[in-house]
Amino acid sequence: MTRRFRALPPFALLVSVALVAGLAVTTAGFAAPTSAAASGATTTSTTALNSVESSILTWINRDRAARGLHPLRLDLRLSSLADTRAARMASKNTLSHTVAGGDFGPLLYSLLGVPSWSWGEDIGWTGYPYGSQAASSLYSMWKQSATHWALMMSTRMNYIGVGVAYRSSNHATWASLVFTESADHTRPVARMAGDGRSGTTISFSWSGADRPLQTHTAGLKNFDVQYRVDSGSWRVIRSGTTARSITLSGRARHHTYYLRVQARDNRGNLSGYTTSLHVSVP
């Protein structure tokens, strides 16, 4: 089933249309949903994907890559939302976006802390054994539905959450895929590249990147550079620099000099500081 609705915007100035698609399966090998009963529904961890969720995400991004699309970036906060939505359907034994919790768009800004312009959901359930068979069954169903496939292969959505719940009373696996087109909120990457010394002159180099999203990639902006001598305190010697190397001359002998960097993207997202490199001046 597919329905469209106009969602409340996260910001007063943002107007978005959310696409929501669901899948009810009656093919041989699957049981149609029955009336609600004691569920025994259990959700997965919200701190990491389990094997079913991980397999589904891997297959989505594999098929996106085959079509020249960027991978959907996993956000575990969206996975927590998807877990909750899957568990609600499992507890009611009913495949429904409304039962899952309805329109989640108005929740996204408080959840992610950034604007989202569109969002969507694929839902499904299967009676195949929990694990790899359930994952394969769910993915095959979504893949065979043009509406669901279009959402998984979206050229607009850039983040995803994957949630699964298991209903022990009828051995059914319920799933929710939550998609958003959101502002870039992924940390960029910084790496130390090398170091060197000539006499009392030392040098360091580094690199960085902002991993591309399908849409709204912020792009790498600059770096902060920290330096310390021996076991002293770290201090910033370059802030907001676009340079990727530094040369420091006239270093005192019999000391070791350490350097590390962090990257910043154009939305202000920061990487962690790199593991430091060091050079000793004998």
Q: Is the pLDDT of residue 27 over 80?
A: no
Structure tokens given for 243: 């340079």
Residue 49 pLDDT: 84
Better-predicted residue by pLDDT, 35 or 39: 39
Kindly report, residue by residue over 181-212, the tens digit of the pLDDT. Answer: 999 999 999 999 999 999 999 999 999 999 99
Better-predicted residue by pLDDT, 45 or 13: 45
Better-predicted residue by pLDDT, 254 or 41: 254
Residue 47 banded pLDDT, cuts 50, 70, 90: low
Domains of the chain: 51-182 (3.40.33.10), 189-281 (2.60.40.10)
Kindly report, residue by residue over 133-170, the tens digit of the pLDDT. Answer: 999 999 999 999 999 999 999 999 999 999 999 999 99
130 within 8 A of 52, measured Cβ to Cβ: yes
Query: What number is the average pLDDT over the span 119-129?
Result: 96
What's the rounded Cα separation, in Å, for the pair 181 and 183? 7
Q: Is the pLDDT of residue 38 over 80?
A: no
Kindly report, residue by residue over 229-275, the tens digit of the pLDDT. Answer: 999 999 999 999 999 999 999 999 999 999 999 999 999 999 999 99
What's the rounded Cα separation, in Å, for the pair 174 and 41? 9
What's the rounded Cα separation, in Å, for the pair 214 and 159? 9
Average pLDDT of every residue of the chain: 87
Q: Is the pLDDT of residue 26 over 60?
A: no
Q: Which residues contact 130 (CB under 8 A, 6 or more apart)?
A: 52, 166, 171, 173
Q: Is the pLDDT of residue 45 over 60?
A: no
Q: Is the pLDDT of residue 42 over 60?
A: no
Residue 224 banded pLDDT, cuts 50, 70, 90: very high
Residue 4 pLDDT: 31
104 within 8 A of 81, measured Cβ to Cβ: yes
Residue 15 pLDDT: 23
Residue 191 pLDDT: 99
Model's pTM, two decimal places?
Answer: 0.83
What's the rounded Cα separation, in Å, for the pair 106 and 121? 14
Residue % of the chain over a pLDDT of 70: 83
Q: Which amino acid does the sequence have at 187?
A: R
259 within 8 A of 247, measured Cβ to Cβ: no
